[in-house]
Chains A and B, each alone.
Chain A
C-alpha cells in the first residue's frame, strides 16, 4: 500500500503499519469531531512520525497513486473543516 503524507511525499507501507495508522486515524477523527485541536495535532503528528520511521520513501519521479492520504500534521481544526467542505482547501486550477 502507498501512503501519502500531504506536503511531504509518498511512502510504501506494510499491512502492519497500515493497521496502526487506521487505529490512530479513528482517534484523529474523534479529536476533530470533538473540536480538540491539541489532540488532533498530537495524533496527526504521531501518524506522520510512524510513516516516516517505518515507511519506505518513494522516489520523487514515481507516478503511482496513493491508497491512503494523511493530511498535514499541522492542519488546524479550521483548515480541517475547510478541507472537507464544499468550498475546499485545495484551490481549483483555472480551466
Chain B
C-alpha cells in the first residue's frame, strides 16, 4: 500500500493532467493554462471575501449576545425583587446558554481567521507564480523549437498546476468550514431572537409574559403610591390654605 505522500502526489498529478488535457493543441496549452490561472486567482479572492463575510456575521452575533447579558442580569434582578425566584432562575439559565454560545463563537471566529490567513498566503504564492509563468510563457514561445517548447511547457504548466491544485484544495476546505458554520450561526440567531427579554409586551414566551406582568404590577403600585402621596400632600396644602 502506497503512503499518504505518494497518494497525494498522484491525486495532484491526476488533477493537473485533467486540467491540461482540456487544451488539445500543445501550442495553446500555455495560453489556456494562463487563463485558468487567472480564474483560480479570482476564485481564491472570492474565497477570502466569503470567509470575511462569514466572520463578520459571527462577530455581529457576538455583539448581540454580549448585549443580551446585562439585560438578562437586569431581568433576573427584577424578578428576584418581585419575589419570583423561578423567573430569576429562568433568566440566568438563558444567560448561561448565551455565554456558552459566546465561547463557541470565539472559537469559530478564530477558525475563520486562520482560514482567511491561509487563503491569503495561497493567493500571494499563486500570484507570484502566475506572474513568473506569464513571463516564461513569452520566453518559451519566442526562443524554443516546437519540440523543446513542448517539454518546457509541460514543466512550467505542471509546476504551476500544482499550486493551482493546492489553492483549489484550500478554497474547498475554507468553503466546507464556512458552510458548517452557517447552520450553527442560524441556531444562534434563533437564540438571540427568542431569548430576548427586552420586549415585555410581545409576550413571546411565558417568561416574557410573567415578567411583563410583574413589571406592569410594580409600575401600577409605584404610580398608585405616587398618586396617594400627591393626594395626601394636596390635602395638607388645602388644610393649610383653609386655616390661614
Contacts and interface: CB of A to CB of B under 8 A. Distances in A.
B162 A88 contact: no
B173 A61 contact: no
A69 B40 contact: no
Interface residues of B, number: 44
Nearest to A92: B18
Interface of B: 1-9, 11-12, 15, 18-19, 22, 36, 39-40, 118, 121-122, 124-125, 128-129, 131-133, 136, 155-156, 158-160, 162, 164-166, 168-173
Contacts of B12: 69, 90
A9 B164 CA distance: 11
Contacts of B168: 90-91, 93
Q: Which secondary structure characterizes the binding site on chain B? A: helix
A1 B156 CA distance: 17
Interface residues of A, number: 40
Given A21-B5, A25-B4, A26-B3, 6 more contacts: A64-B155, A67-B9, A68-B9, A69-B8, A84-B7, A94-B39
Nearest to A5: B166
Nearest to A95: B22
Contacts of B11: 83-84, 88, 90
